[in-house]
């Protein structure tokens, strides 16, 4: 699942594993964006985790992020309409992983928060 993949990516970044780059390159652009924008329990992004463990890895991740943003803008002209936080929460509460992945691929923001600063992951853990 997507959440398991994100957890693995954060684990690889924490270990400073450069193989993370090739694994991330194989993901679809919208998934890469969601992964790069996600934050761990300490509020750190994948890039920040990588930077604290392997500065060269963080440079490669930054380059990949910029490259993907340019490609996405070139291919699509504009980004697809982002899913609302309510759509994402509904998918989490329903346990509908396929719908959640689809919404994230369409540009749903994985770090959106509710009125109490709860993220999607907070809601998933509460279930």
Give me 63's structure tokens. 């380059």
Q: Print pLDDT tens along the chain (127 aa).
A: 788 888 898 999 999 998 888 888 888 777 887 888 888 888 888 889 988 888 888 888 888 877 665 555 544 444 444 457 778 888 888 888 888 888 888 778 777 777 677 787 777 777 6
**pTM greater than 0.85 (yes/no):** no
Instruction: Name, in order, each residue with C-beta under 8 angstroms of 6's C-beta and a sequence gap of 6 or more.
Output: 34, 35, 38
Instruction: Name, in order, each residue with C-beta under 8 angstroms of 99's C-beta and a sequence gap of 6 or more.
Output: 91
Report d(CA 77, CA 57) in Å as an integer.
29
Q: What angle do CA 30, 102, 46 make, to 5 degrees?
A: 40
């Amino acid at each position: 699942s997507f959440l398991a993949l994100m957890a693995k990516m954060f684990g690889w970044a924490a270990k400073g594993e450069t193989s993370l780059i090739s694994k991330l390159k194989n993901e679809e652009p919208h998934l890469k964006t969601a992964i790069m924008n996600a934050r761990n329990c300490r509020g750190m992004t994948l890039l920040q985790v990588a930077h604290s463990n392997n500065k060269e890895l963080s440079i490669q991740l930054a380059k990949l992020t910029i490259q993907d943003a340019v490609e996405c803008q070139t291919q699509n002209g504009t980004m697809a309409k982002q899913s609302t936080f309510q759509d994402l929460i509904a998918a989490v509460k329903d346990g509908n992983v396929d719908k959640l992945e689809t919404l994230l691929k369409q540009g749903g923001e994985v770090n959106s928060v509710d009125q109490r600063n709860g993220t999607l992951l907070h809601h998933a853990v509460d279930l």
